[in-house]
Amino acid sequence: MATLHVFAGSIEQPVRPAIRRIGLADLGDALRRGLDDFRAMPSHVIFLSMLYPVVGLVLARLSFGYDVVPLLFPLVAGFALLGPFVALGLYELSRRREQGLPVRWTDAFGVLRSPSRDSIALLGGLLMVLFVIWLAVAESLYQGLFGYGAPSSLSAFVTDIFGTPHGRTLLLVGNGIGFLFALAVLVVSVVSFPMLLDRDVGAVTAVQTSVRAVATNPIAILAWGLIVAVSLALGALPFFIGLAVVLPILAHATWHLYRKVVA
Q: Where are the beta strands (DSSP E) in the chain?
A: none
Top-confidence residue, 191 or 68: 191
Top-confidence residue, 38 or 237: 38
| Of the ranges 46-60, 78-92, 128-142, 234-248, the best mean pLDDT one | 128-142
pLDDT at 2 > cutoff 70: no
**What average pLDDT does the segment 124-146 reach?**
90
pLDDT at 49 > cutoff 80: no
What confidence tier does 156 reach under pLDDT thresholds 50, 70, 90? confident
Cβ 243 vs Cβ 236: under 8 Å? yes
pTM of the model: 0.84
Of 131, 86, 80, give the one whose Cα is nearest residue 111.
86
Gap between the Cα atoms of 194 and 198, Å rounded = 6
Q: Which amino acid is at 196?
A: L
**What average pLDDT does the segment 144-155 reach?**
77
Q: Which amino acid is at 231?
A: S
In DSSP notation, 201-239 reads: --HHHHHHHHHHHHHHSHHHHHHHHHHHHHHHHHHHTTT
Cβ contacts of residue 117 below 8 Å, gap of 6+?
A: 111
Cβ atoms within 10 Å, residue 213 = 26
Gap between the Cα atoms of 70 and 143, Å rounded = 9
Longest dimension (CA), the chain: 61
Cβ 87 vs Cβ 257: under 8 Å? no
**What average pLDDT does the segment 1-7 reach?**
51
Percent of the chain with pLDDT over 90: 39
- The confidence score (pLDDT) of residue 206 equals 93
Cβ 216 vs Cβ 135: under 8 Å? no
Cβ contacts of residue 170 below 8 Å, gap of 6+?
A: 141, 142, 145, 146, 161
Cβ 237 vs Cβ 38: under 8 Å? no
Q: At 181, which helix (H) or strand (E)? A: helix 165-189
Gap between the Cα atoms of 199 and 74, Å rounded = 34
Top-confidence residue, 151 or 54: 151
18-23 long-range CB contacts below 8 Å, 24 or more apart?
18/262, 18/263, 19/209, 19/212, 19/213, 19/216, 19/217, 19/261, 19/262, 19/263, 20/216, 20/260, 20/261, 20/262, 20/263, 21/216, 21/217, 22/217, 22/220, 22/257, 22/260, 22/261, 23/220
Question: Any idea how long the chain is?
Answer: 263
Of 7-16, 32-41, 191-200, which gets the smallest average pLDDT? 7-16
Top-confidence residue, 124 or 16: 124
Gap between the Cα atoms of 180 and 186, Å rounded = 10
Domain boundaries, the chain: 21-135+175-261
